Amino acid sequence: MIFYFSGTGNSLYVAKNIGEHNKEELVSIASAINNKDESYEYTLKDGEIIGFVYPIYAWAPPKMVIQFIKKLKFNNYKNNYIFTVATCGENVGNAIKVISNLLNKKNLTLKSGFSIQMPNNYIISGDVYTKKVEQEKLSQAELVLNKINDVVKNSKDGIFEIEKGFVPGILTSVISPLFNKKGLDTKKFHAGHNCTGCGICESTCNCKNIKVRKKPIWGKKCIQCLACINLCPKRAIQYGKGTEKKGRYKNPNINVKEMMIK
Ligand X SMILES: Cc1cc2nc3c(=O)[nH]c(=O)nc-3n(C[C@H](O)[C@H](O)[C@H](O)COP(=O)(O)O)c2cc1C
Paired residues of 40 in beta bridges: 72
Closer Cβ to ligand X, 56 or 145, answer by number = 56
Nearest approach, Cβ of 2 to ligand X (angstroms)?
13
Nearest approach, Cβ of 197 to ligand X (angstroms)?
24
Long-range contacts of 98-107 (CB under 8 A, 24+ apart): 98/60, 98/61, 98/66, 98/172, 99/52, 99/61, 99/65, 99/69, 102/66, 102/69, 102/70, 103/69, 106/69, 106/72
Nearest approach, Cβ of 252 to ligand X (angstroms)?
11
Nearest approach, Cβ of 30 to ligand X (angstroms)?
11
Closer Cβ to ligand X, 6 or 28, answer by number = 6
Residues that bind ligand X (CB under 6 A): 6-11, 55-59, 87-91, 118, 120-122, 224-226, 251
Closer Cβ to ligand X, 58 or 162, answer by number = 58
Nearest approach, Cβ of 77 to ligand X (angstroms)?
27
**Nearest alpha-carbon partner for 59 in 176, 160, 144, 138:** 176
Residue type, 66: I
Closer Cβ to ligand X, 73 or 167, answer by number = 167
Closer Cβ to ligand X, 203 or 251, answer by number = 251
Taking the C-alpha atoms of residue 260 and residue 256, their distance in angstroms, rounded to an integer, is: 7
Taking the C-alpha atoms of residue 229 and residue 146, their distance in angstroms, rounded to an integer, is: 31
